[in-house]
Structure 1
Amino acid sequence: MAETKREIERKYESDDSGLPDLTGAGGVAAVLDKGLVELDATYYDTADERLTAASLTLRRRTGGSDAGWHLKFPVAPGVRDEIRAPLSDTVPEEIAALVRSRVRNAELIPLVRLRSARDVRHLVDTEGALLAEASLDTVTAERLTGKRRAAQWTEIEVELADGRDPAVLDRLDERLRKAGLRPAAAPSKLARALELTAGRRRGARTAPPRPVTAGDHVLAYLRAQRDALVELDPAVRRGLPDAVHRMRVATRRARSTLRTFGTVLDRTVTDPVGAELKWLAGELGVDRDHEVLADRLKNALDALPPALATGPAAERLTAWAGTRQGGAHAHLTGVLDSRRHLTLLDTLDALLADPPLRVAAGKKPAKPLGKAVRKDRRKLRAALEHALELPPGQDRDLALHEARKKAKRTRYAAEAATPALGTPARDLTRAMKSLTTLLGDHQDSVMARRTLRELAAVAHAAGESAFPYGVLYGREEARAAALEAELPGRWKKIRNGASG
């Protein structure tokens, strides 16, 4: 089974390759010599180095206390999450799955071999507890593809012990810099090895060109959503907080972009892509919606006075909330592993590489983008004002839900256009975010009331008290009525205050 470790470290290089005495720095009471460790690591990537381009490292390492497969994800400068799996001859499936969104049909091949002689020091406090580990690494790198070049260097690593305050590294950094050390130029040993064994200096990653035309702006926004889908894939697999929601939003943004900017990108080409994005959003959304609704109902029940929360309502609600949890994650990872999903990612790549541009794509952005945003806003206005004309009830609920969808589409259109249109689009984005939050709360209330009716019916059939469900239903009904009463004023303020 794979396990995760948060790695917080700093790397240094110096001309004399020495490790200075760190006693007294950062609360270090003593420096303990732990001897020399021989490490042998083979780094894997695709032939076109897709993992390296994303600052991911995948290695098989022997020697030391953590021999095995290691996959590292960047979290922040100097901070990485290391996923570890036991040693085996081939890449373990739990590791391979985490890079599938990038690797897809490509083969993972040995890219570089690094052999390190690591001279280890433990930095401990007055009680002998570990603060950090400092090591002097003498590294030999060998390129395993193309012309097999080799390189050698020495570097110093200081890694924070688990649970320690990162400020320890700041204080050690002061001592190390005074001793003549400087932060390593390369972010990792692999990056340095690739540079030194390439036969030429690897150029710094260049920023994409500044958007100029309408097409540039639309493609930049679409590219950001494609990147989010790829980057969030391993986070969804790992069950990280909010990852599913964020991936679902990226699919909606991408689909909305294809639909809204039909004068820029040919919809006869992009509509099938949009249909696949809709499928993915649906797969991501089912269990997410269930989870959000369960949390809403649990919190509402917990807020009831004990005298009103009669019977086994809490137990029944907990059972209902857990009905989908067992197989939800397995289903979702199955979707991400599916040929359909991987083909969608390939299709988005191809679309961005060779976009189906229309005439408006080559124009200055203000007019075509502004026109598209205004069109979406008009559709929202018609949908919302129609909903507000209806009497309270199911028809109005459905109409408000449709208006919510159009508000989201207007928001995403304004987001995409903000770099070109500036403040008016930014203001409209904020206004649409506020409106979708209100309409989303209303829709959640609609779904909550539907579920409460179902739970009450089941409880009644089982001979239990349905009273708590009725109380919660009444509160949700009052909440929805308050939101509907707030909507006209909110919309009037948006209509009069937001440009677009």
Structure 2
Amino acid sequence: MASQAVEVEMKYDVGQDAEVPSLAEIPGVTRVGEPHVDTLEAVYFDTQTHALASRDITLRRRTGGVDAGWHLKLTAEGPGSDEESGDAAGGSGSEPRRRRELHAPLGQPGVVPDSLLAHVLAYLRGEDAAPVVRLKTQRTTYALYGGDGVHLADLADDRVSAELLGAAGGAGGAGDAAVGDTAAPEGEARTREWREWELELVHGSPELFPAAEEILAAAGALPAKHGSKLAKVLALAARESGAAAGPKSPGKKGPVSDLLTAYLAEQISEILAHDPGVRLEEPEAVHDLRSATRRARSALQAYRRFYNALAVRHLGTELKWLGRVLGVPRDAEVMLDRLRGHMAELPPILASAVKDRLEDDLGASRDAAHRKLQMAMVSARYFQLLDGLEGFLDNPPVRPGAAAPARKAAVKLVAKAAKRLERAARTAKRTRRGAEHETALHQVRKDAKRLRHVAESVEPVHGKHATKIAKAARRQQQILGDFHDSVVARDLLAKLAAAPDLPEAVASAYVTLHTRQVQLAADAEAEYRKERKKSRKVFRGTVI
């Protein structure tokens, strides 16, 4: 597994003849260590279209210095997030950059470690990451210490030589990458040299940056125009600035289309952020990715009349496919965790008898579903879905009605979802028992989820009232989720108990667990009825 750290730094452009100032004059700095010189060589990997660099992601293999190895740098809150990253994409300005940095051992020169590759597959989308730039840096590092001896920060004085590499340069390994035939960016030479300073926190606080500003500026340092060395050599400032802008924040007087754009952008960011966790099988990653997928689909369905029907239908179909692929392993895991918990309520003899059998039966199906999920997430279909979602944001296929005022249109959207939920609840009330009743309650759960997501999407223009509706819908959804899980567990246990040649102790345990699920389902339904009465007061009229 890769190790992680958060890098907080400021980069400065300086002239070749600039002199490093007296760093001990920076407020809070009482001692400066002896300068240490390293020669660093790094090969940066990306696609021909710079899919990573254009998102402010850098992937490199560096030799020399104390942290030689593979490095992957992402925004501190995960790809797609601008929170607390300063001018993360553009990199210019006076705010420090926060970046999440993952490290892996040097390994083989041309083979990106799987622990890092998992974090960028959603951006590569089937393309290979090949060497694009080689940097040679003569780095002189000055360690800055506080009065208590704490290592506050390092100032790195870098003299950089950069060489653009062709896409085929990695054929003989990253270390031997040769200059290929790929043309350099317009107006750029294939090699460049420059000097820059980096002030990076070690154990110090961000207050050190403004404290150092005057002294560094007096020495001729200016806030860097690019967020990274790679961005500088690829001249990606303009592209980065466009990526950093993101969707327009919805306003009460703005068009209703802004509501979907902003909400969908959030869900796409969540999908991309949780994608690596699913690949690395991290806890809750499948659940989080599935939730974002469902939110995106709900929002598209709710706002569909404002957009081209074919475009919305296609994305909805693909999101449903992804949700289904995610749902199988997630549901198996939920069921296994649920029954594990209830086994703890059994007498020790029964619990011991059934534990291994359940683990074998459910664990096997869960593992098979995970394997199918991993295959789906490297498929062209999944990558095309990501392209489609981002394309929808970049060029929304709006109809004329999408220009309707957001505040007024939002009321109608929420009211429609609330009426849909009420109709489903009445249907469930008319079907008193049996499979038909259980199916009807499951539909109530799905409609409560849709109302929740629609209400969440209109929070920018309707604030607390929309939040109140979303929370009430979420409570119904959760209660009926417990009901549905109990029904599924009940049916599963009945099937397992009917298996031939079942040991008596195991059969007895299954019967006990089955009875428990029947009671839990009844309890959940009773709780839902109470919650529905409370929620109807919130939903009544849905005048927000």
Normalising by structure 2, we get a TM-score of: 0.76
Distance across 2 between alignment mates of 1:198 and 1:79: 20
Deviation of 1:360 after TM superposition, in Å, equals: 1.6
Q: Could you tell me how far apart the structure 2 residues matched to 1:244 and 1:184 are?
A: 44
1:360-371 correspondence runs (5 A)? 360-371=401-412
Residue 165 of structure 1 corresponds to which residue in structure 2? none
- Asked if structure 2 preserves the Cα contact closer than 8 Å seen for 1:40 and 1:63, the reply is yes
What is residue 461 of structure 1 aligned with on the other side? 502
1:497 deviation in Å? 2.1
Rounded to whole Å, the distance in 1 between the matches of 2:127 and 2:206 is: 44
Equivalence for 1:429: 470
The equivalent residue for 1:102 is 123
What is the rounded CA distance, in whole Å, between the counterparts of 2:491 and 2:66 in structure 1? 55
Q: Does 280-289 or 243-252 show the bigger shift?
A: 243-252
Query: Which of these residues, 209, 227, 238, is aligned with residue 248 of structure 2?
Result: 209
Report the secondary structure of 1:219's partner residue: helix
Contact 1:11–1:184 (Cα < 8 Å) also in 2: no
Residues in 2 aligned to 1:366 and 1:171: alpha-carbon distance in whole angstroms: 40
- Alpha-carbon RMSD across the aligned residues, in angstroms, is 3.9
Assess, with a 3 A threshold, how the Cα gap between structure 1 residues 421 and 230 changes in structure 2: closer, same or farther: same
Instruction: State whether residues 107 and 113 of structure 2, in contact with CA within 8 Å, keep that contact through their aligned partners in structure 1.
Output: no
Of 275-284 and 370-379, more deviation after overlay is shown by: 370-379
Contact 1:19 1:136 in 2 (8 A): no
Correspondence for 1:5 among 3, 6, 17: 3
Structure 1 residues 196 and 339: CA distance shift in structure 2, 3 A: closer
- Corresponding residue to 1:224 among 266, 280, 295: 266
Aligned to 1:116: 137
CA drift at 1:156: 4.3
After superposition, what is the alpha-carbon deviation per residue over 1:231-260, rounded to whole angstroms, capped at 9, x for unaligned?
A: 322222122332211211122122222222
1:417: how far off? 2.1
Name the residue aligned to 1:164: none
Q: Which runs of 5+ in 1 are unaligned?
A: 125-129, 160-167
Whole-angstrom distance in 2 between the partners of 1:373 and 1:100: 37
Contact 2:497/2:511 (8 A) holds in 1: yes
Go from structure 1 to structure 2 and tell me whether the alpha carbon gap of 1:118 and 1:386 turns closer, same or farther (over 3 Å shift): same
CA contact (8 A) 1:222 1:254 kept: yes
Aligned residue-pair number: 481
Partner of 1:17: 20
Q: What amino acid is aligned across from residue 193 of structure 2 in structure 1?
A: A
Structure 1 residue 138 and structure 2 residue 153: aligned?
no
Amino acid at match of 2:290: R
Residue 292 of structure 1, CA deviation: 0.9
Equivalent position SS for 1:337 = coil
Structure 1 pair 85–201 and aligned structure 2 pair: CA distance change class (3 A)? same
Q: Deviations over 1:67-106 (max 9, x none)?
A: 4433233334645241526444535373445323222255
* Post-superposition offset of 1:135: 6.8
Query: Which amino acid counterpart does residue 275 of structure 1 have in structure 2?
Result: T
Q: What residue number does 1:319 align with? A: 360
Contact persistence 1:13–1:181 (CA under 8 A): no
In 2, are the aligned partners of 1:67 and 1:87 still within 8 Å (CA)?
no
* Contact 1:10-1:158 at 8 Å conserved across structures: yes
Partner in structure 1 of residue 180 of structure 2 = none
Aligned to 1:45: 46
Question: How has the CA–CA distance of structure 1 residues 376 and 185 changed in structure 2, closer, same or farther, with 3 Å as cutoff?
Answer: same
1:194 equivalent in structure 2: 231
In structure 1, C-alpha distance between the alignment counterparts of 2:236 and 2:523, rounded to whole Å: 69
Q: Which runs of 5+ in 2 are unaligned?
A: 13-17, 78-84, 86-97, 165-183
**Aligned pairs for 1:332-347 within 5 A:** 332-347=373-388
Q: Residues 469, 181 of structure 1: CA spacing in aligned structure 2 closer, same or farther, 3 A cutoff?
A: farther
Q: Deviations over 1:121-163 (max 9, x none)?
A: 8999xxxxx989957452414262321333112334454xxxx
CA deviation after TM superposition for structure 1 residue 12, in Å: 5.4
Q: Does 1:80 align with 2:96?
A: no
Q: Cα deviation per residue 1:183-207 (whole Å; 9 max; x = unaligned)?
A: 99569x9625634874989985435
Give the direction of change, closer, same or farther, for the CA distance of 1:132–1:239 in structure 2 (3 Å limit).
farther
The residue type equivalent to 2:63 in the other structure is T
Task: Give the aligned residue type for 1:17.
Answer: V
Task: State the secondary structure of the residue aligned to 1:71.
Answer: strand
**Cα distance in 1, alignment partners of residues 222 and 451 from structure 2:** 46
